[in-house]
Chain A
Amino acid sequence: MTEFTKEEFLIATMAGLFGTGRFMVSGVNSPIPAAAGLLHERQSPGFFVSIHGDPDRTPFVDGGAEPFDMAAQGRLDTFVFGGVQVDGQANINLVSIGDPGRPKKRFTGSFGAAGLYYLIPNIVLFFPAHSRRTLVDAVDFRSASPLAPAGAFRQGGPKWLLTDRCLFRFDEGQMAFELASVHPGQTVRDIREATGFAYREPRDVPTTPVPDDATLAMIRGEVRDQLAVAYGRFARSCIKDP
């Protein structure tokens, strides 16, 4: 089997979650989502990823509010969110650890997450350091939450949680995650031990497929070249030479 980096594996796995989407925006400091978007463009013609930091891939001419309006209009349909914590109801925290009024540790802030959580049909949560510190029973601050009052407008929400250990699928009806696959080298028991929230575990959990040679060639070729416009250092250090 061909060798690949952890990042190449995550890029290939994430691209597989973008489905029939048409337009994705990748935000600040998001090289893996940007690369996954570029890969999906090649696997699913008609898909387009906007990359923060690549002017040719930033189709916004009307200021900072325009992407949020595009999400409301249904034109922006794919997005990846990270954060410092995620819990079993898919609440994410980008704000702080401890009492929010006087936090032990302050982070950036919620950015657009709280609004986009209801607007973008395919939201992938990406937490590449899977541990009980990041996948927690209840987040310390809810930057974005799918828990809305009855009758609230909702055309989107979190669908997947991808980590460096496994993939969870979010069941909106149950408001709970289900283990979808474990990455090579991980067991369902490893996942249980590393996860701070309760989730459904089917009897048979498949192993996440590894990228095939054609996919790796694509990542190391065109994807790497185009990614380098915004993420030169990442493209050189985390993706192998073709």
Chain B
Amino acid sequence: MTPSSLTLAEMAALIPDGARLALPSENSGVPVRLIRALIRRGARDLRLVGGPTGGFAIDLLVGAGCVASVEAAGVSLGARGLAPRFCAAVEAGEIEMIDSTCPATHAGFIAGEKRLPFMAVRGVFGSDMLARRRDWTTLDNPFPPHDPVVVVPAILPDITALHAPLADEAGNVWVGNRREVKTMARASALVLATVERIHPGNLINDSAMAPGLLTRPYVDRITLAERGAAPTALPPDYGPDGAMLDAYAGAARTREGFDAWLSDFLNEPGVA
């Protein structure tokens, strides 16, 4: 898919209500501007999968009422503490929380990428994730020493939405060293990418850049979104917008504060 003239609103319309939507972890290419368009279109009942964790964007989607469930190994605002709207929604029973642990989510995406039914993961024994999740179980290793091993099912998202520093004219998206983002995308049925800029030419021929590519066969739609991950960081292009994240963390502590912050965020002039 070569870069398109799709608007962010048109791209957001490709994410239907109820979709199982995988998002990269904080500062790993979170498509915040696309998520804003998704909130503007009034998305409902999304089943989010953190890759394997989440932060600002999951808190925002939950607070905006777009989410039915969150599967993640953790959701927080990092140094700014707990994710307030996420925590409030779990405490109020407004969303279903499907707790995972990082290596299990990675294993689920790897199984999904390979279209294997499940993947084994070390440890996890004795945890309440294993006790509570009906989709996780323990098998005996069929080979010596026949030890018990925890297995988790493939994660097969309907959609992965990601933001990346660049795509090229041939339709390859450069995600750098975020291999888990490539894995998550490959596990998904539909891949939507927003990018900072379009590189003239084909990066396949650049041996320094090629290992960081999510190549054209994996990517369904690409559209431009300058500072598309802000206020989260997009290494190596930009760091986090600390002032905006501070303001969010403060405002989102209350329902009223969040609503006012969201209204400003959705109505920011001059930004699609």
Contact = CB atoms under 8 A, between A and B. Distances in A.
A150 to B, nearest CB: 8
Interface stretch (B127-135, B186-194, B252-260): B127-135
A111 B72 CA distance: 8
A146 B127 CA distance: 9
B25, B128, B178, B183: residue with the most chain A Cβ atoms closer than 10 Å: B128
Nearest to B128: A142
Contacts of B128: 95, 100, 141-143
B200 interface: no
Interface in A146-184: 146-149, 151-153
A29 B128 CA distance: 24
SS class of chain A's interface: helix, strand, loop or mixed?
loop
A152 B28 contact: no
A115 B121 contact: yes
Contacts of A144: 101, 123, 126-127
Contacts of A2: none
A29 B78 CA distance: 7
A124 B116 CA distance: 36
B16 interface: no
Interface in B37-86: 51-53, 72-76, 78-79, 82-83, 86
B82 A114 contact: no
A112 B101 contact: yes
Category for how many chain A residues contact B: 35 or more
B217 interface: no
Interface in A61-119: 61-66, 68, 72, 91, 94-96, 100, 102-119
B125 A65 contact: no
A106 B87 contact: yes
Nearest to B102: A112
A100 B122 CA distance: 24
Contact of B86 (A106, A115, A146, A151): A106
Nearest to B96: A101
B179 A65 contact: yes
Interface in B102-156: 102-104, 106, 110, 121-132, 138, 145-149
Interface string B83-95: 1001100110100
B90 A114 contact: no
Nearest to B80: A29
A62 B127 CA distance: 27
A17 to B, nearest CB: 21
Contacts of A1: none
A65 B25 CA distance: 12
Contacts of A94: 74
Contacts of B101: 110-115, 143-144
B204 to A, nearest CB: 20
Contact of B123 (A28, A108, A117, A141): A117
A62 B106 CA distance: 13
A91 B126 contact: yes
Contact of B177 (A62, A119, A146): A62
A65 B106 contact: yes
Contacts of A50: none
B183 A105 contact: no
A145 interface: yes
Contact of A104 (B86, B91, B110, B177): B91
Given A62-B179, A105-B91, A153 B122 contact: yes
Interface in B197-243: none
B262 interface: no
Contacts of A68: 102-103, 106
A183 to B, nearest CB: 27
Contacts of B148: 148-149, 151-152
B53 A147 contact: no
B102 A108 contact: no
Contacts of B17: none
B169 interface: no
Contacts of B53: 109, 111
A143 B127 contact: yes
Contacts of B76: 28, 108-109
A29 B79 contact: yes
B145 A151 contact: yes
Given A110-B101, A119-B123, 17 more contacts: A61-B177, A63-B179, A68-B106, A100-B128, A108-B75, A109-B72, A109-B75, A109-B76, A110-B99, A111-B101, A113-B101, A114-B129, A115-B103, A115-B123, A142-B131, A143-B128, A148-B126
Interface of A: 28-29, 60-66, 68, 72, 91, 94-96, 100, 102-119, 141-149, 151-153
10 contacts: A29-B78, A114-B123, A115-B104, A119-B122, A119-B123, A145-B126, A145-B127, A146-B126, A151-B145, A152-B147
